[in-house]
Structure 1
Amino acid sequence: MENIQSVHTQVIQWLDELVPFIKRSLSQVLQIEEKAHRQDLVTNMDKEVQDFLVGKITESYPNHMIIGEESPLPPLNENREHVWTIDPIDGTANFVKQSDHFCVLISYYENDIGKLGYILDVMNEDLYYAIENEGAFLNHEKLTEPPEISLQDGLISVNVREWYGKECFGKLSQESFDIRYFGCGGIDSIHVIKGKFAAFATSKSGNWDLAAQLIFAKELGLKASRFDGSAITYLDGGDWVLSNKGTYDELIEILKGWHES
């Protein structure tokens, strides 16, 4: 087992180095490629940020497993005593098109138990982090559990382009207060963590998209699951929801219809 406070101190230092590095890149010419389709982008900065973090982790912890969005998935049936997940730039399209509303996601797990989770809002230089059994923090100030929000009073974040035309989206639009979407799961999750959104739901994700948020959920009394209400772990991808507990039950009743509509 690692000394968690020592690991945490190192991650803070790494992320402090990343902020000016990423911001400088915005004044440079990016190398942009398409992955699955024209809205699914990857840039040289996605790869360079991941390489930077992988290098830091490997230098300090050469025997730890690393799962990064921009590298092949390692065999997950191997020893999982120490596992890191990295999404080097979550919201790459926002990074390219807006130079805003993107973040860096990192998590650290020991024996499948979430120990550390990080969401770095780069442009605002806001660092959110969660430490097992110690709580969640924004720039070292402890966050409180968000007050309960009903679905009727809550803003719900979903990908409108992906969900438009589905019966469950129409029902969600009618029964929630309204729909919002930043186009970056980490930024949308921050709004749930702070109680500004009642929930964030996405039908497509990799485990690097959700591993950090699962630790925040545990520390802040939020609910996280698949659309059908079944449990989700940091090794999973696909559909998932991060929700205020006052919204969750009504939301899941609607989301259960996602795959049928």
Structure 2
Amino acid sequence: MVTVILHEIDTYAKQWIKEAGERIRESFPKTLNIAAKSNPNDLVTNIDQETEQYFIEKIKGTYPDHKILGEEGYGDRLEKLEGVVWIIDPIDGTMNFIHQQRNFAISIGIYEDGIGKIGIIYDVVHDELYHVLKGHGVFLNDIQLSNLKETSVHESIIALNATWVTENRRLPSDLLAPLVKEARGTRSYGSAALEMVYLASGRIDAYITPRLAPWDFAAGIIMIEELGGVATNLRGGKLDLLNQSSLFVAKPGLHGEILKKYLKNGQW
């Protein structure tokens, strides 16, 4: 994709995500229609659905040959990442949106033949727009973010849900307990998109989770890699952008330390 077209797509995507954010803010005083998806804690609202449909209308009306992979299922059914694909989470952190009306974000990753070109994450309530055009740096609104610096576990704040250090079906409950004890601190924000931009902006140092969908991390990993960070699954392997995957993103150096010492290079 030529640079001129990329800049045009980037401009449209930022405009649409801002407009979608305004629509979401306007919805705050209204009653939500809430439904459960795969389980009682996997929630979706009419605002999630309407926001995804809004993006589809804008994208298909402007770029009819582009494909869309969206959380709410209104986009295309994809088996390959061929051509230009928009990977969209209309509200990442729906439970926070419902309970708090904050700590959620809109996330858009734009890929060409499987390569991340544009990543945009919008913290709607705080009006913080994180964006990257591959090769041109990562920005928070108009401020360019610095490359990520190496750090150690003892100096790090790790984003990690408490679920993963208690008995669960995905990880040995004692696997990450030593990391929690030795890190400077842990946090859990309830939105993968926000946790990744907090890493990009230096507010945390790593984020670990054993289960995410592509729309949760598609935009964030473009930013983290642009800043010199590392994005893999929990075994250190390549991320799957079409299916659920574990996710481990961290500052350089720290990623290798945690993978080797605490995640044991996936030998579990």
Shorter-chain TM-score category?
A: over 0.9
Please, what TM-score do these two structures have when normalized by structure 1? 0.94
CA distance in 1, matches of 2:72, 2:267: 28
CA distance in 2, matches of 1:45, 1:255: 38
User: Residues 33-71 of structure 1: CA distance to partner in whole angstroms, max 9, x if unpaired?
Assistant: 111222211100110110001111000111111000000
Tell me which of 94, 110, 113 is aligned to 1:111. 113
Residue number among 51, 54, 79 corresponding to 2:53 in the alignment: 51
Counterparts of 2:39 and 2:214, CA distance in 1:
20
- 2:207 matches 1:200: yes
- Which amino acid in the other structure matches residue 203 of structure 1? P
Once residues 97 and 184 of structure 2 are traced to their aligned partners in structure 1, the CA distance between those partners, rounded to angstroms, is 29
Whether the 8 Å CA contact 1:69–1:88 is kept in 2: the answer is yes
1:174 CA drift (Å): 1.6
Q: Which residue of 1 aligns with 2:170?
A: none
Scaled by the length of structure 2, the TM-score of the pair is 0.91
Per the TM alignment, residue 13 of structure 1 is displaced from its structure 2 partner at its CA by: 1.1
Q: Which position in structure 2 is the counterpart of 1:121?
A: 123
Q: Given residue 50 of structure 1, which amino acid in structure 2 is its aligned partner?
A: E
AA matched with 1:201? I
> RMSD between aligned alpha carbons?
1.7
Which 10-residue stretch deviates more, 55-64 or 15-24?
A: 15-24
How far, CA to CA, are the matches of 1:106 and 1:68 in structure 2? 9
Ranges in structure 1 where 5+ consecutive residues have no aligned partner: none
Tell me the alpha carbon deviations over residues 179-228 of structure 1, each in whole angstroms, 9 at most, x when there is no partner.
11001101111111111211011111111111111211221001000111
CA contact (8 A) 1:105 1:120 kept: yes
Q: Residue type matched to 1:40 in 2?
A: D
| 1:181 aligned residue (180, 188, 200) | 188
Match of 2:151 in 1: 149
CA apart distance, 1:12: 1.3
Aligned counterparts of 2:253 and 2:187: Cα–Cα separation in 1: 18
Q: Name the CA distance, whole Å, in 2 between partners of 1:230 and 1:198.
A: 20
Aligned length: 259
- The answer as to whether partners of 1:227 and 1:256 remain within 8 angstroms in 2 is no
> Relative to 1, partners in 2 of residues 1:185 and 1:151: Cα closer, same or farther, differing over 3 Å?
same
What code does the residue aligned with 2:263 have?
L
Q: How far apart in 2 are the matches of 1:49 and 1:256?
A: 40
Contact 1:66-1:86 at 8 Å conserved across structures: yes
Structure 1 counterpart of 2:78, from 70, 75, 78: 75
For residues 12 and 122 of structure 1, do their structure 2 counterparts lie closer, same or farther at Cα, with a shift above 3 Å needed? same
* Matching residue's letter, 2:209: T
Structure 2 stretches lacking a partner, 5+ long: 168-172
Partner SS, residue 129 of structure 2: strand
2-side partners of 1:45 and 1:15: how far apart?
A: 14
1:130 aligns to what SS in structure 2? strand
Runs of 4+ in 1 over 6 A off after TM superposition: none
Partners of 1:164 and 1:153 in 2: how far apart?
24
Aligned to 1:32: 34
Q: 1:210 to 1:259 in 2, by over 3 A?
A: farther
Once the two structures are overlaid, the 10-residue window that deviates more, 82-91 or 248-257, is 248-257
Contact map agreement 1:151 1:246 (CA 8 A) in 2: no
Task: Give the one of 259, 262, 266 matched to 1:252.
Answer: 259
CA distance in 2, matches of 1:168, 1:179: 15
Alignment check: 8 A CA contact 2:117 2:133 kept: yes
